[in-house]
Structure 1
Amino acid sequence: MSQAKHEVFDLVLFGATSFVGRLVAEHLAARADAENLNWAIAGRSETKLAGVRAEIGCPDLATIVADAHDDAALLSLCARTRVVISTVGPYALHGEPLVRSCAQTGTDYADLTAEVPWMAQMIERYQVRAAQSGARLVFCCGFDSVPSDLGVAHLQSQARTRFGTPCQRVAMRIQAMRGRVSGGTVATMTNMARQLRDEPGQQQYITDPYSICPADKRPTTKQRPVTRPFWDRDAKAWGAPFVMAAVNEHVVHRTNALAEPSYGTEFSYNEAQLTGRGLKGRAGAYGLAGALGTFMAAVSFQATRNLLERFVLPAPGQGPNATKRANGFFDVRFHGHTPSGDTVRTRVRGDRDPGYGATSRIFGEAGLCLACDNPGAVPGGFWTPASLMAEPLTARLERHAGVTFVADE
């Protein structure tokens, strides 16, 4: 380890040598002086960490060598920082030791996971320990699921201001998006498919929309996820299932439950991707739904999954160049209905591709929010982006990450 043993950091980026990790490091390097941030990068290889330092123009940045499965090294790392943010996935394979170390040492934590079964298991195993140590742990701090979680929170704030009550029904719709999912996200999806095949009992975490909610705060309202093409009356367009909807929907429901519940006990929420109007929009919806079904079926079997990973899918550590990242974007719409029938709309837009450019900046700002915007008296435990840091993170994203939140009249 290159830093003095007594030095304590505000933030450590674990997994800095991954493709997304390098982008997060680049963002933090650009923001560190303005935040007066004392930070370090961590990973398995000192040589690769030195390469990251050179790439981001921080030759004197501290580095910490630690393996994701070395408990002693992870405990030492956590003892030297107030916040750890991790890009080391799939988290079901590599994430538990760091979560355990943070929960034990009282170190705040954020990651980019989209693995609902793993999140549920971590909450079950370490919630009590985190509550005792004071560690605040936050999953899903990238494109999955910050725009969804903060978008709903923004819409509900507008509803309370205008009508004095939150919306009972909310729908998120992907209006438009350019970019592709990261190799890390693909690895996560294929690993989840493998787990669900080998451990059928884990399917319950996916099908139960409240599986990561506290056991004593799980609503009984029936949810209606989008599973097939449909005509969206609010958007006046055709829609199809959205590949990351199940993850985002779970996170939004946990946010509601943790706030006891701020969106109401009858709150319902789903997500979908819009494909347009007329015959073209209808054909697009059926085509997208069919492609998604085919992909999920293919990754469920070893032989076809191996072929996809070898010839089609991006591998972890790979990603688009800076021009492609800058040319990407996302445009997400939220439609809400109050119990009395009033409607509220919010738009969330990002000016980079979702899987890399936007995610790296969103994640970097989430880490800075944990490190620099003191959550104060918020107790330890597992939180969501909106339940722990909705207002300060929303402000940060608008100022520094190219993400905007706009209420539609």
Structure 2
Amino acid sequence: MANPQYDIILFGATSFVGDILTGYMMSQYGESSDLKWAVAGRSENKLIETKQRHGAHNIPHLVADAANEQQMASMVKQTRVVVSTVGPYALFGEPLVKACVENGTDYCDLTGEVQWYKRMVDKYETTAKQTGARIVHCSGFDSIPSDLGVYFLQQQAQSQFGKMCKDVKLRVARLKGGASGGTVASMVNIAKEASKDAALRKELQNPYSICPQGHGFKRRQENINGSQFDEDFDQWIGPFVMAAVNTRVVHRSNALLNKAYGEDFSYSEAMLMGKGRKGKTGSRNMGWGLNIFMVLAAIKPTRWILERFVLPKPGEGPTPEEQLKGCFDYRFVGKTDDGQTIKVKVTGDRDPGYGSTAKMLGQAAVCLANIKKEDKAGGFWTPATLYQEDLIERLIDKSGLTFEVLDANK
């Protein structure tokens, strides 16, 4: 691909997260930046409204429909990187990934749909390696804090202990934010697909489902789907809804890093629910609530009721004020095979799924645009294996995230 017109095209600029991302890109790069970027979507009127809302009058816009393969191909030929916010990706995402892969255009998104991730890898990774397209799914709240958090912990462990940790846990200490219709629609679609497909239900139970073939991992991974007490944190824990995708991305990173974390590496994620009877009750309720929701979402009549009367619609989500008040606080603990322990904290200063994820995704796209093709070849990468320290520095400097070592005991 010779001399494309743009560095980055933001596809889905009129979506809920796309609108936030457009505002963030304007605040960071504006119209006079050296970064050449544009916005795209299927409605020209909505694109113009989005640009006006953020003062992006001179930012170019392109009209393209996610369902039109010719328009997708035409769009990706004009840029080095496409960043997409158009979901649910299992319903709308494949034509754009296909176009990027076939034309050697780099791509990142914020999907949390692990079943779709696997389909894209299975169908397009061989071609991506041939064309040089770097595809990086899960470049938002799913799964940058998890994947880069583990990467950061392992780098610190290597520096301080001379070895990486065999066992790592992530526990969510705080999570404040709202849900958007797009995220809920993705969760409902996963439940809907799984209810019809026994093979998919089995696949969703495999912690290594998106690892490359021949990965060789055999260790049984802990799946926290109910109430447990965690001795390392001295608190009750409950299931974390994002663990299903985050844990699989971390294991793929380990595989792509030539098993740097170890062939017997274990990783789990959960919510910290507190101590005593209150913590135990909260952890039990968290498990029951999540399981009940997934059952109701899988059954057609109850799914219809949820979508019609209970759940937010696509395009709906937390207000700007709510986004500013949101935050997240992840705590990691890692243990080496000889008992050395390190504790790490990763935090974000906005609503995790929207205000913060938009900043992560924007910097991921810029980071991807800056990585030379000769330095990283084509294929399906993860945040930890492609962006690495460069994105960690960007997130600290420009996106309100922190990465901090709390304690390291030899």
User: TM-score normalised to the size of structure 1?
Assistant: 0.97
Q: Is the 8 A contact 2:25 2:362 kept in 1?
A: yes
**Where in structure 2 are the equivalents of 1:8-407 lying within 5 Å?**
8-33=5-30, 36-374=34-372, 376-407=374-405
Structure 1 unaligned residues grouped into runs of 5+: 1-5
Q: Deviations over 1:247-269 (max 9, x none)?
A: 00000000000011110101000
Q: In 2, Cα distance between the equivalents of 1:192 and 1:232?
A: 29
Say if 1:221 and 1:35 are closer, same or farther in 2 by CA, change over 3 A: farther
Q: In 2, Cα distance between the equivalents of 1:391 and 1:217?
A: 25
The amino acid of 1:78's aligned partner reads V
Q: Is the 8 A contact 1:373 1:392 kept in 2?
A: no
- State the identity as a percent: 46
* Cα displacement (A) at 1:403: 0.7
Q: Is the 8 A contact 1:116 1:205 kept in 2?
A: no
The amino acid of 1:19's aligned partner reads F
The amino acid of 1:11's aligned partner reads I
The amino acid of 1:343's aligned partner reads T
Q: In 2, Cα distance between the equivalents of 1:181 and 1:321?
A: 11
Q: Is the 8 A contact 2:4 2:80 kept in 1?
A: no
- 1:215 alignment partner, SS class: coil
Q: Between 219-228 and 12-21, report the one with greater CA deviation.
A: 219-228
Structure 2 unaligned residues grouped into runs of 5+: none
Q: In 2, Cα distance between the equivalents of 1:322 and 1:210?
A: 37
The amino acid of 2:23's aligned partner reads E
The amino acid of 1:261's aligned partner reads K
The amino acid of 1:401's aligned partner reads S
- Aligned CA RMSD, in angstroms, stands at 1.2
- 1:407 alignment partner, SS class: strand
Provide the residue aligned with 1:3 in structure 2: none
The amino acid of 1:9's aligned partner reads Y
Q: Deviations over 1:321-378 (max 9, x none)?
A: 1111011110000011100001011100111111211111111111111123446421
Q: In 2, Cα distance between the equivalents of 1:251 and 1:8?
A: 32
* Cα displacement (A) at 1:379: 0.8
Q: In 1, Cα distance between the equivalents of 2:373 and 2:156?
A: 23
* Cα displacement (A) at 1:181: 2.8
Say if 1:300 and 1:52 are closer, same or farther in 2 by CA, change over 3 A: same
* Cα displacement (A) at 1:205: 2.5
Q: Is the 8 A contact 2:4 2:77 kept in 1?
A: no
Q: In 1, Cα distance between the equivalents of 2:404 and 2:182?
A: 30
Q: In 2, Cα distance between the equivalents of 1:357 and 1:367?
A: 16
* Cα displacement (A) at 1:185: 1.2
Q: Is the 8 A contact 1:227 1:240 kept in 2?
A: yes
Q: Deviations over 1:163-191 (max 9, x none)?
A: 11110000100011111232211110000
Q: In 2, Cα distance between the equivalents of 1:374 and 1:237?
A: 45
Q: In 1, Cα distance between the equivalents of 2:100 and 2:157?
A: 37
Provide the residue aligned with 1:408 in structure 2: 406
Q: Is the 8 A contact 1:276 1:282 kept in 2?
A: yes
The amino acid of 1:238's aligned partner reads W
Q: In 2, Cα distance between the equivalents of 1:328 and 1:179?
A: 5
Moved over 4 A (4+): none
Q: How many residues align?
A: 404
